[in-house]
Chain A
Amino acid sequence: MFVSGSKMVIVVPEDLQARVREVARTILRAPFTRRTWSELLFLIVGAALAAVGLAFVGITVAAGVALAVTFIGLAVVGLAVRGARGFGGLHRNLARGLLNEQIEDPAPFVHRPGFLGWLQAVLRDRVGWRAMAYLVVKALLALVGIMTALSIWIDAFSCLTFPFSNHSQPAEFGVARIFFRPGFVSIQSSGFLHGLAIEATGVILFFVAPWATRVVILLDRPLLRALLGPGAMAERVRSLEHARAQTVDASVATLRRIERDLHDGTQAQLVALAMRLGMAKEKLATLDDPDLAPVRDLVDDAHRGAKEAIVELRDLARGIHPPALDLGLEGALSTLASRSTIPTELTLSLRDRPTPAIETIAYFCVAELLANVAQHANASRASVSCAQHGAWLRLVVRDDGMGGAQLSQLGSTSSGLSGLTDRVHAVDGRLDIVSPLRGPTVVTVDLPLHA
């Protein structure tokens, strides 16, 4: 802006002109964009959902606290967390659909078989608790939204439709009071000017409302992401779990390859060697020469040694990776059960095949537990059951022996079992022993189907 002669010329830079034009266009178009109406819909549906959600959380948590002295209290709180997770999912889907907010699903709820498994998992469910926090904060935010953005919309419509209504003045609600009460528009007056003023207010509010809505939504977005997404810690845990699963799977694949190399290489060569020694032994037996007696003894020893080496190598290879597992748990476990010196009954019900790593751990658990039964339990019968409960595999090994088995005791008497509990824990599994004196002993192993 500068002065030239007597005439004042206002020169507006072109880029500023363009910006002003753009801002004006944006403001004028805002009420007619898809985004604005989606956000308004989110505001309304979200508020309704928040009211229901808050009522749910309030009632269940209050009931849970009231029943806290009994066991049922915990279950009710569990129900509250589980329900909050569900409401959280609804809000998340609403945000995805209407706000185009990219929120990833948190990890699905998984729990060990049985009611206690469910209760433990649900009370520790961070996703559920965070969803509950969202429901509470969201209820407050919804109230703010109703009192500000939504009331502006309502005022705008009631002002705009004022000429068509038979009321003397527009509905007086929320922020519109600010315009009406201080005399900006006199609500006591009437007539054409009065109507025009109300109509003008309606138009202004109509163009302000989208921005008020946007501000409220802007407050909601970070909450949605922080409380209904997977969460930074959960993301980290998930990536670590993924890496661990890969490590476990890779180690099983390596062991399988070692077993195969042994089978194709050393074992085959030993068998061929023992076979040739056997041929030599039989040839020597047909020769009737007393000088050959020491040779005969040497060959006999070598033959026996080779046969023993085959058996030892086979046991070793089976300990590295039982080849029957390649065709699934069923065949491998049936061989284990029938090899057991105690009559053992096997029942299997698996819908999905676990990963090789889990199959291997399950196999070695059963092998070790049956060996323990045979060695220590003084049992006459044993049973093995292997059943799928959702995403979990439950192994139960039972015997009618003398009982009194403890994990530490079992661990010290058999080198394998303590290693097994480590392997079970390594995939977030669990091993429980119930073994009262005079039995029966029941060992339960829970393993996830996927490492």
Chain B
Amino acid sequence: MTGPLRVAIAEDSAVLRDGLVQLLADRGFVITDAVSDPDALRASVERERPDVAVVDIRMPPTFTDEGLRAAIDLRHRHPGLGILLFSQYIETRYAAELLADGAAGIGYLLKDRVADVSDFVDALRRVASGGTALDPEVVTQLLGASRRTDSISVLSAREREVLSLMAEGRSNAAIASELVVSEGAVEKHVANIFTKFDLPVTQSDHRRVLAVLRFLES
């Protein structure tokens, strides 16, 4: 990708919207638009064609799941657009709906995560380049909702940690630095997980997220 990433922001709270604009501009993103409702977002994406959109789930008019509806809608119209959904709460049903069409270029994070600025910016870049960024809470819930409890219990504690980080959309390098182990060790754990789950090994990060999620859902 060439040039700075172009970001659209849809967030109805002015204080948070301004903060996000400031943070992302500071980190070298180009803000195409910062709007406060889903319709303005749709129009803006149509006009400006950003690389990625940061979307609050609860927005006017009903303050329930407008952001999610807009995100799913935008995904269908602009398959290349990365979407980072952003919410005070993680709901299992929202995650399932969002990931129904694949995990490429999808993120679902708690709003708290902006407090850790670099992690948040990394997640946004990952989503913009077609990767996945799922909140640890999303992963916990997906694991909790999974009926494959028997398969999961076969994993070692370390493998479970790797599985969670992998499901969040992290690369092997990121997992290695998070767990303070070598990349080679991570690769070994990943291979073990795929063997135990009987899944085909795949190189791309978001494909393996999807493989893991599909497995958990089945």
**Which of A's residues lie within 8 Å of B, judged by CB?**
260, 263-264, 267-269, 271-272, 274-279, 281-282, 303, 306-307, 310-311, 314, 317-318, 323-324, 326-327, 330-332, 334-335, 337-341, 343-345
Instruction: Name B42-77 residues within 8 Å CB distance of A.
Output: 58, 62-65
Taking a contact as CB atoms under 8 Å apart, the answer to whether A331 and B15 are in contact is no
Task: Return B160 CB to nearest CB of chain A, in Å.
Answer: 14
Taking a contact as CB atoms under 8 Å apart, the answer to whether A338 and B16 are in contact is no
Instruction: Name B82-116 residues within 8 Å CB distance of A.
Output: 88-94, 111-112, 114-116
Task: Return B116 CB to nearest CB of chain A, in Å.
Answer: 6
Task: Return B104 CB to nearest CB of chain A, in Å.
Answer: 23
Knowing A264-B12, A272-B19, A337-B144, the reply to whether A282 touches B93 (Cβ < 8 A) is no
Instruction: Name B138-187 residues within 8 Å CB distance of A.
Output: 140-142, 144-145, 147, 149
Taking a contact as CB atoms under 8 Å apart, the answer to whether B92 and A338 are in contact is yes
Taking a contact as CB atoms under 8 Å apart, the answer to whether A335 and B92 are in contact is yes
**Which of B's residues lie within 8 Å of A, judged by CB?**
12-13, 15-16, 18-20, 22-23, 26, 58, 62-65, 88-94, 111-112, 114-118, 140-142, 144-145, 147, 149
21 A-B residue pairs with CB within 8 Å: A268-B16, A271-B16, A271-B19, A272-B15, A275-B16, A275-B20, A275-B114, A275-B117, A318-B89, A324-B89, A324-B93, A326-B64, A327-B64, A330-B93, A331-B92, A332-B91, A334-B93, A337-B144, A338-B144, A339-B144, A344-B144
Which residues of chain A come closer than 8 Å to B23, judged between CB atoms? 275, 279
Taking a contact as CB atoms under 8 Å apart, the answer to whether A314 and B140 are in contact is no
Task: Return B97 CB to nearest CB of chain A, in Å.
Answer: 9
Among A282, A318, A341, contact of B117 (Cβ-Cβ < 8 Å):
A282
Task: Return A404 CB to nearest CB of chain B, in Å.
Answer: 25
Task: Return B95 CB to nearest CB of chain A, in Å.
Answer: 9
Which residues of chain A come closer than 8 Å to B140, judged between CB atoms? 339
Taken together as a complex, chains A and B put the C-alpha atoms of A281 and B117 apart, in Å, by: 9
Taken together as a complex, chains A and B put the C-alpha atoms of A318 and B26 apart, in Å, by: 33
Q: Who on chain B is nearest to A271 by CB?
A: B111
Which residues of chain A come closer than 8 Å to B112, judged between CB atoms? 271, 274, 307, 310-311
Task: Return B43 CB to nearest CB of chain A, in Å.
Answer: 23
Task: Return A344 CB to nearest CB of chain B, in Å.
Answer: 8
Taken together as a complex, chains A and B put the C-alpha atoms of A263 and B88 apart, in Å, by: 8
Which residues of chain B come closer than 8 Å to A331, judged between CB atoms? 91-94
Taken together as a complex, chains A and B put the C-alpha atoms of A307 and B12 apart, in Å, by: 21
Q: Taking A272-B16, A279-B22, A324-B91 as given, write out 12 further A-B residue pairs in contact, using a Cβ cutoff of 8 Å, ordered by the A residue number.
A: A260-B63, A263-B88, A271-B115, A278-B114, A279-B26, A281-B117, A314-B89, A335-B93, A337-B92, A337-B144, A339-B144, A343-B144
Taking a contact as CB atoms under 8 Å apart, the answer to whether B114 and A271 are in contact is yes
